[in-house]
Amino acid sequence: MGVALAIVIIVIGSVLFHLFSPWWWTPIATNWGFMDDMISLTFWITGIVYVVILLFVAYCVYKFQYREGRVAAYEPENTKLEIWLTVLTSVGVVALLAPGLFVWFQFVNVPEEATEVEVVGQQWFWSFRLPGADGKLGTADNRLISEDNILGINPNDPYGQDDIIIDGNDLHLAAGQPVKMLLRSVDVLHNFYVPEFRAKMDMVPGMITYFWMEPTRVGTYDVLCAELCGVGHGYMGGTVLIDTVEDYDLWISEQTTFAEMTTNTGIEFTNLVEDP
């Protein structure tokens, strides 16, 4: 009886903690409502299964407790029960996986007005690149990376000359403006993760992955690497600062472009790679 009662208390406590949890999410990016809805649906499905199974266990513990002379029944096969379990499990799996397809479509279906921002990950820090006055990012290739060209930007691409280089772990974005995050790794597998935005995507060497988001609340949010990338993985952190449009414009005017960076170094680049 004590064990059965303890299980029931655990179930009730779990449900109450979920309903009145102090860490319930905050709408920091308006376009992630569909992702929150999927999380809620997942909680409801798994929560109902969790409650039913534990209450069933509590019932069995109490109902079939030891009594002298009681003998357990042996039934190695039950076709009807197996069919029901297979059907219910299949329905549950579909209900959990199907919404993810719609969420993924929203996650990568970028609006036309979104601004492109490149995130470059390497052991063990972040770098960023934003478009300049022309609104376009120039091409880049990891084989062009050097001490004077830290992101491997193609020096022969005119669109890359006014690109803004952020050699550090702090990225500024303007509130209320959608951005397409282009993700590139220069060494091993990384994962760009901003928990508050529900934004997370692998960065695969040799590939450009992407997603989009529209931050709506001014503030400072942590960037994490969510993929084990070596001994310094735990220290690979950064910051996304969401500014008002006025503050963002002021910050962007103080940054260094690729052309200014190459002029300051006094080094002329050559085309080391064909069609990067």
Cα separation of the two ends of the chain:
71
pLDDT of res. 25:
63
pLDDT for residue 24 = 63
Residues with Cβ within 8 Å of 219's Cβ and at least 6 positions away in sequence, in order, are 28, 241, 242
Positions in the chain whose pLDDT score sits under 50 = 267, 269-276
- Pick from 84, 94, 14: which is nearest to 54 by CA? 14
State residue 66's pLDDT score: 78
**Which domains occur in the chain, in start order?**
2-64+77-108 (no CATH), 115-265 (2.60.40.420)
pLDDT of residue 116: 92
Q: Residues 99, 41: contact at Cβ < 8 Å?
A: yes
Q: Are 153 and 257 a contacting pair, CB within 8 Å?
A: no
Q: What is the pLDDT of residues 63-112, one digit of tens each?
A: 888 788 878 788 888 899 899 999 988 988 888 888 888 888 888 888 88
CB-based burial, 154-170: b 16+ in 10 Å, e otherwise: bbebebbbbbbbbeeee
Neighbours of 236 (CB within 10 A): 22
